[in-house]
Structure 1
Amino acid sequence: MSRSQQCVLVWYGDTFDPDLIHSIFKLIWKRTSARDEDTPLIDVEADGGTSKRARPLLLANAGALKISCELLRLFVTEAVQRAAIIAEAEGTEKIEPTHLERILPQLLLDF
Protein backbone atom coordinates (compact mmCIF):
# COMPACT_ATOMS: atom_id res chain seq x y z
CA MET A 1 0.00 0.00 0.00
CA SER A 2 1.46 3.36 -0.99
CA ARG A 3 1.83 6.27 1.40
CA SER A 4 -0.92 8.26 -0.35
CA GLN A 5 -3.31 5.32 0.00
CA GLN A 6 -2.51 5.11 3.72
CA CYS A 7 -3.31 8.80 4.16
CA VAL A 8 -6.65 8.37 2.40
CA LEU A 9 -7.63 5.58 4.79
CA VAL A 10 -7.49 7.82 7.87
CA TRP A 11 -9.76 10.51 6.43
CA TYR A 12 -13.47 10.26 7.08
CA GLY A 13 -15.20 12.82 4.91
CA ASP A 14 -13.48 16.09 5.74
CA THR A 15 -11.91 14.94 8.99
CA PHE A 16 -10.18 11.96 10.60
CA ASP A 17 -12.03 8.67 11.06
CA PRO A 18 -13.59 8.71 14.57
CA ASP A 19 -12.98 4.95 14.93
CA LEU A 20 -9.28 5.47 14.28
CA ILE A 21 -9.06 8.30 16.82
CA HIS A 22 -10.97 6.21 19.38
CA SER A 23 -8.55 3.32 18.84
CA ILE A 24 -5.60 5.65 19.35
CA PHE A 25 -7.17 7.06 22.53
CA LYS A 26 -7.80 3.54 23.88
CA LEU A 27 -4.21 2.53 23.16
CA ILE A 28 -2.89 5.58 25.00
CA TRP A 29 -5.26 5.03 27.93
CA LYS A 30 -4.16 1.39 28.24
CA ARG A 31 -0.47 2.31 28.10
CA THR A 32 -0.92 5.07 30.65
CA SER A 33 -2.83 2.75 32.96
CA ALA A 34 -0.18 0.03 32.64
CA ARG A 35 2.57 2.55 33.37
CA ASP A 36 0.75 4.09 36.32
CA GLU A 37 -0.26 0.93 38.15
CA ASP A 38 -1.50 2.99 41.09
CA THR A 39 -4.30 4.39 38.92
CA PRO A 40 -7.10 1.86 38.50
CA LEU A 41 -8.63 1.31 35.07
CA ILE A 42 -12.10 1.07 36.61
CA ASP A 43 -14.75 3.77 36.92
CA VAL A 44 -17.69 3.19 39.23
CA GLU A 45 -20.89 4.57 37.76
CA ALA A 46 -24.41 4.62 39.16
CA ASP A 47 -26.53 2.12 37.25
CA GLY A 48 -30.07 3.07 38.12
CA GLY A 49 -30.93 3.26 41.81
CA THR A 50 -28.29 2.34 44.34
CA SER A 51 -26.60 -0.51 42.49
CA LYS A 52 -23.24 0.29 41.00
CA ARG A 53 -21.24 -1.45 38.35
CA ALA A 54 -17.64 -1.13 37.33
CA ARG A 55 -16.80 -0.43 33.72
CA PRO A 56 -13.52 0.20 31.95
CA LEU A 57 -12.48 3.77 31.31
CA LEU A 58 -12.00 3.01 27.63
CA LEU A 59 -15.22 4.61 26.44
CA ALA A 60 -15.53 7.97 24.74
CA ASN A 61 -18.62 10.02 24.04
CA ALA A 62 -19.43 10.23 20.31
CA GLY A 63 -19.56 14.02 20.52
CA ALA A 64 -16.16 14.14 22.22
CA LEU A 65 -14.71 11.93 19.48
CA LYS A 66 -16.18 14.15 16.78
CA ILE A 67 -14.71 17.27 18.38
CA SER A 68 -11.35 15.53 18.89
CA CYS A 69 -11.28 14.61 15.19
CA GLU A 70 -12.02 18.19 14.21
CA LEU A 71 -9.34 19.56 16.55
CA LEU A 72 -6.77 17.14 15.10
CA ARG A 73 -7.80 18.12 11.57
CA LEU A 74 -7.34 21.81 12.38
CA PHE A 75 -4.00 21.14 14.08
CA VAL A 76 -2.61 19.15 11.13
CA THR A 77 -3.94 21.65 8.58
CA GLU A 78 -2.41 24.58 10.44
CA ALA A 79 0.92 22.76 10.84
CA VAL A 80 1.10 22.04 7.11
CA GLN A 81 0.16 25.61 6.18
CA ARG A 82 2.75 27.14 8.50
CA ALA A 83 5.45 24.71 7.37
CA ALA A 84 4.60 25.51 3.72
CA ILE A 85 5.12 29.22 4.41
CA ILE A 86 8.57 28.50 5.86
CA ALA A 87 9.45 26.22 2.94
CA GLU A 88 8.31 28.86 0.44
CA ALA A 89 10.37 31.53 2.21
CA GLU A 90 13.42 29.27 1.80
CA GLY A 91 12.64 28.82 -1.89
CA THR A 92 11.69 25.15 -1.78
CA GLU A 93 8.44 23.50 -2.81
CA LYS A 94 8.79 20.51 -0.51
CA ILE A 95 8.05 20.60 3.22
CA GLU A 96 10.91 19.04 5.16
CA PRO A 97 10.90 17.88 8.80
CA THR A 98 13.02 20.91 9.70
CA HIS A 99 10.19 23.19 8.55
CA LEU A 100 7.81 21.43 10.93
CA GLU A 101 10.37 21.66 13.73
CA ARG A 102 10.63 25.40 13.23
CA ILE A 103 6.88 26.05 13.41
CA LEU A 104 6.12 23.56 16.19
CA PRO A 105 6.86 25.73 19.29
CA GLN A 106 4.52 28.54 18.26
CA LEU A 107 1.91 26.11 16.94
CA LEU A 108 1.76 24.32 20.29
CA LEU A 109 1.42 27.64 22.10
CA ASP A 110 -1.41 28.66 19.78
CA PHE A 111 -3.31 25.43 20.38
Structure 2
Amino acid sequence: MEENAFDPDLIHAIFKQLWKRRALEREKNENLDAMDCEVGPGTSNKRNRPTSAHANALKLSCELLRIFISEAVQRAATIAEAEGSARIEATHLERILPQLLLDF
Protein backbone atom coordinates (compact mmCIF):
# COMPACT_ATOMS: atom_id res chain seq x y z
CA MET A 1 0.00 0.00 0.00
CA GLU A 2 1.28 3.47 -0.85
CA GLU A 3 2.34 5.87 1.88
CA ASN A 4 0.16 8.70 0.63
CA ALA A 5 -2.93 6.58 -0.05
CA PHE A 6 -6.12 7.09 1.93
CA ASP A 7 -7.07 4.62 4.63
CA PRO A 8 -10.00 2.46 3.41
CA ASP A 9 -11.38 2.36 6.96
CA LEU A 10 -11.54 6.16 7.01
CA ILE A 11 -13.30 6.28 3.64
CA HIS A 12 -15.71 3.57 4.81
CA ALA A 13 -16.49 5.58 7.96
CA ILE A 14 -17.19 8.65 5.81
CA PHE A 15 -19.46 6.62 3.53
CA LYS A 16 -21.31 5.17 6.52
CA GLN A 17 -21.88 8.65 7.91
CA LEU A 18 -23.31 9.80 4.58
CA TRP A 19 -25.51 6.71 4.27
CA LYS A 20 -26.86 7.27 7.77
CA ARG A 21 -27.60 10.94 7.04
CA ARG A 22 -29.37 10.09 3.78
CA ALA A 23 -31.39 7.34 5.48
CA LEU A 24 -32.56 9.83 8.11
CA GLU A 25 -33.50 12.36 5.41
CA ARG A 26 -35.34 9.67 3.45
CA GLU A 27 -37.17 8.56 6.59
CA LYS A 28 -38.16 12.14 7.34
CA ASN A 29 -39.45 12.60 3.78
CA GLU A 30 -41.38 9.33 3.95
CA ASN A 31 -43.00 10.42 7.19
CA LEU A 32 -44.09 13.65 5.52
CA ASP A 33 -45.44 11.68 2.55
CA ALA A 34 -47.23 9.27 4.88
CA MET A 35 -49.14 12.19 6.34
CA ASP A 36 -50.42 13.03 2.86
CA CYS A 37 -51.37 9.50 1.80
CA GLU A 38 -51.81 6.07 3.26
CA VAL A 39 -49.04 3.49 2.74
CA GLY A 40 -50.18 0.10 1.45
CA PRO A 41 -49.29 -3.32 2.89
CA GLY A 42 -46.79 -4.09 0.09
CA THR A 43 -44.19 -1.55 1.16
CA SER A 44 -40.53 -2.34 0.58
CA ASN A 45 -38.28 -3.61 3.34
CA LYS A 46 -35.29 -2.02 1.60
CA ARG A 47 -34.87 0.75 4.16
CA ASN A 48 -34.26 -1.78 6.93
CA ARG A 49 -31.27 -3.38 5.19
CA PRO A 50 -27.83 -2.09 6.19
CA THR A 51 -25.76 -0.41 3.49
CA SER A 52 -22.25 -1.72 3.02
CA ALA A 53 -19.32 -1.43 0.64
CA HIS A 54 -17.17 -4.17 -0.83
CA ALA A 55 -13.46 -4.01 0.06
CA ASN A 56 -12.49 -3.57 -3.60
CA ALA A 57 -14.97 -0.70 -3.94
CA LEU A 58 -13.37 1.00 -0.96
CA LYS A 59 -9.89 0.57 -2.44
CA LEU A 60 -11.10 2.00 -5.73
CA SER A 61 -12.73 4.94 -3.94
CA CYS A 62 -9.48 5.63 -2.09
CA GLU A 63 -7.50 5.57 -5.33
CA LEU A 64 -9.99 7.86 -7.08
CA LEU A 65 -9.86 10.30 -4.19
CA ARG A 66 -6.04 10.24 -4.20
CA ILE A 67 -5.90 10.94 -7.94
CA PHE A 68 -8.54 13.68 -7.68
CA ILE A 69 -6.68 15.50 -4.91
CA SER A 70 -3.26 15.17 -6.51
CA GLU A 71 -4.68 16.53 -9.78
CA ALA A 72 -6.28 19.43 -7.91
CA VAL A 73 -3.01 20.30 -6.20
CA GLN A 74 -1.07 20.02 -9.45
CA ARG A 75 -3.48 22.31 -11.32
CA ALA A 76 -3.60 24.82 -8.46
CA ALA A 77 0.22 24.83 -8.33
CA THR A 78 0.33 25.63 -12.04
CA ILE A 79 -2.00 28.60 -11.52
CA ALA A 80 -0.01 29.78 -8.49
CA GLU A 81 3.26 29.52 -10.42
CA ALA A 82 1.79 31.47 -13.35
CA GLU A 83 0.87 34.24 -10.91
CA GLY A 84 4.36 34.21 -9.41
CA SER A 85 3.24 32.82 -6.06
CA ALA A 86 5.24 30.20 -4.17
CA ARG A 87 2.18 29.03 -2.21
CA ILE A 88 -1.14 27.57 -3.25
CA GLU A 89 -3.95 29.71 -1.91
CA ALA A 90 -7.68 28.98 -1.69
CA THR A 91 -8.28 31.27 -4.66
CA HIS A 92 -6.09 29.04 -6.83
CA LEU A 93 -8.18 26.02 -5.89
CA GLU A 94 -11.38 27.97 -6.52
CA ARG A 95 -10.21 28.83 -10.00
CA ILE A 96 -9.39 25.25 -11.03
CA LEU A 97 -12.35 23.55 -9.34
CA PRO A 98 -15.03 24.03 -12.04
CA GLN A 99 -12.89 22.51 -14.80
CA LEU A 100 -11.59 19.79 -12.48
CA LEU A 101 -15.13 18.71 -11.61
CA LEU A 102 -16.04 18.63 -15.30
CA ASP A 103 -12.98 16.51 -16.07
CA PHE A 104 -13.80 13.97 -13.37
Which TM-score applies when normalising by structure 2?
A: 0.78
How far is 1:90 from its partner? Answer: 0.5
Greater RCO (CA < 8 Å, at least 6 residues apart): 2
The structure with more strand, counted as a fraction of residues: 1
1:1-111 equivalent positions in 2, closer than 5 A: 13-37=3-27, 38=30, 41-43=47-49, 56-57=50-51, 59-111=52-104
| Structure 2: 5+ residue stretches without partners | 31-43
Larger radius of gyration: 2
Larger helix fraction of residues: 2
**How far apart in 1 are the matches of 2:22 and 2:9?**
20
Number of residue pairs aligned between Structure 1 and Structure 2:
87
